[in-house]
Amino acid sequence: MKRSPHGHAFGDSILLEKTSRHRFSYEDQSAVSFRGPFLLIMIIFFMGVLLFQLISLQVVAGPYYRGLSDQNRIRTTTIYAPRGILFDRNGTPLVFNEPGFRQTIDGKTQLLSHKEATEKLAQGKILEIDSLRRYPYKEAFTHVLGYVSQISEEELREDRYASYKPGDIIGKFGIEKQYENLLSGVDGKALSEVDATGKNIRTLGQTDPTSGKDISLTLDASLQQAAFLAMANITKGAVVATTPEGEVLALVSKPSFDPNLFTMGGTYKKEGTESAYFTVEEILNDSQNQPFLNRAIAGTYPPGSTFKLITAAKGLEDKAIDERFLVKDIGILQVGAFSFGNWYFLQYGKTEGEVNVVTAIKRSNDIFFYKLGEKLGVSRISQMAENFGLGKPLGIDLSGEAAGLVPSDSWKQKAIGEQWYLGDTYHYSIGQGYLLTTPLQVNSWTQVIANGGTLYNPHLLKNSKFEIRNSKFLSEKTISLIREGMVESCSPGGVAWPLFEFKVQSAKIKIDGKNFLIPKPSTTSASLIKKDSVKVAIACKTGTAQHGGEKDLPHAWITLFAPAYDPQIVLTVLAESSGEGSNVAAPIAKKILENWFSR
């Protein structure tokens, strides 16, 4: 062993260890040669993946992501088209479009007033500009004009709404629904650039909406209001006023409701109306009074003595009777165990002697019409009823019109399982029993007498063609005799006492000595007659229709035309379960006529 100068000894092993640290084996060289190509492969693989993703994003999915970017940057907003305006026959607007907004929440469209919109916008809500439909006459026009609301899922499946989409506002009722295709316009669109918060930066382009078409109706706004006010004390009933050619001047149904509750937003408050309904929920939930039922065209009732005009027409046309045919009023007819009395005898214990067809209409004598019905039979009465348009819808341009019911022997056997009896004919001949009609139908058969024998389709669209349903089934003589009885019914000695000597104040009416006359003084002093006072000749027929049980009040009817020999207006009033036609319906008709002729 060698020692160092410092005294330390280094063995040979030290030199050997130093030498071994710089020695490479065959295995080490193989590992180095494998690691290099592997790293290169991995780098190429990941570069390929990145390149594929880049190509996919730029080329394949590029349009999709650019669309998302544009949607975040560009917003398409619908510009809703205003609905057309409805006007009456004199150019008076019956609806208005007011500025408003809409918001869609969970698929439900909400119409918002300015007040509501201000609160929503303050909360950062996104709203669309729209117009609100206001009905200035409120309850008075509801059943004829209708209202608008969101389209339902069921309606979207109908062919007529094929071009509509969820959330659209459509006419739900009345004229708004009937002429939806004319009243609805074409929506426009606006493109605007927005920032990330949704704030509008600038408008990029706009397609203006096309407004709906304005429509003129045959209605007279003043008369419609007068008719509604005249029915103020009636809970359920209807008024129909037309021209002799079927143009609808007024159409009222009670009970009614304020359509603005559906269209003017949640903050709308019902003011200045007599409606019993303050919310939409109250309207929807009143199943007892059925405020949605348009009683003028869809309510069906026994017409009572107003139907005697049709029975008389059949008897005269078939020459079963003429003006000389007389029936002795004996108060009560007895058929087996059943009795059929005249109203005058049942109420006052009096009879009226021998009566002809004119007097029978004048006094509404039941005994005369029982015997006439017996001569005619059910089949012939029904035939004439169908000539007058009964048993089928008349075709008014409103949805929901009822057909009513014209009975027959075969109908009774099928529907009830019984044969037709003589007592059924007695009831039928005076407008009772199984017969059911609408107020519109009663008005239409009155038109036939007023215009000289033609049955027209009733209509509300102004300037539409007069469509004839039936004509030339009544002779001039028949019409003349029926008119004479109706004139006497509204004159002293008749039954429609509120219309006796009917007068109005008008400087524009010209006295012709037939339709318009100088009133006779009721006292010895002619000076008591007011200046410009004019007597109007009226032809009318009242009706008191029994229904339900003994405790139920009858339906009160009156149907008339005036002036009697050159008619301007045909008017029918129904007051459900209210009493006698002369006591209840006639005073209502008088108020309506005062409005018409005083103007």
Q: Is the distance from CB of 233 to CB of 263 less than 8 angstroms?
A: no
The CA distances from residue 396 to 424, 575, 576, in Å, are: 31, 22, 22
Per-residue pLDDT band at 9 (split at 50, 70, 90) = very low
Strand 468-471 to 148-150 pairing: unpaired
Instruction: Answer whether residue 359 shows pLDDT above 60.
Output: yes
Q: Is the distance from CB of 101 to CB of 129 less than 8 angstroms?
A: yes
Residue labelled with tokens 């007389």: 326
Question: Which of these ranges, 28-42, 255-269, 415-429, has the smallest mean pLDDT?
Answer: 28-42
Per-residue pLDDT band at 34 (split at 50, 70, 90) = low
Domains of the chain by start residue, with CATH:
78-217 (3.90.1310.10), 295-502+538-598 (3.40.710.10)
Q: What is the pTM of this model?
A: 0.85
Total count of residues recorded for the chain = 599
Distance CA 146, CA 292 (A): 10
Per-residue pLDDT band at 101 (split at 50, 70, 90) = confident
pLDDT reported for residue 1: 43
Tell me the pLDDT tens digit for each residue of 386-399: 999 999 999 999 99
pLDDT reported for residue 35: 64
Per-residue pLDDT band at 105 (split at 50, 70, 90) = confident
Tell me the pLDDT tens digit for each residue of 523-534: 554 455 677 899
Task: Look up residue 154 and give its two tokens.
Answer: 């069921």
3-state secondary structure 429-492: HCCCCCCEECHHHHHHHHHHHHHCCEEECCECECCCCCCEEEECCCCHHHHHHHHHHHHHHCCC
Residues 6+ apart with CB under 8 A from 306: 431, 442, 446, 541, 542, 543, 557, 558, 559, 581
For 95-99, what is the mean pLDDT? 93
Q: Is 559 in a helix, a strand, or coil?
A: strand
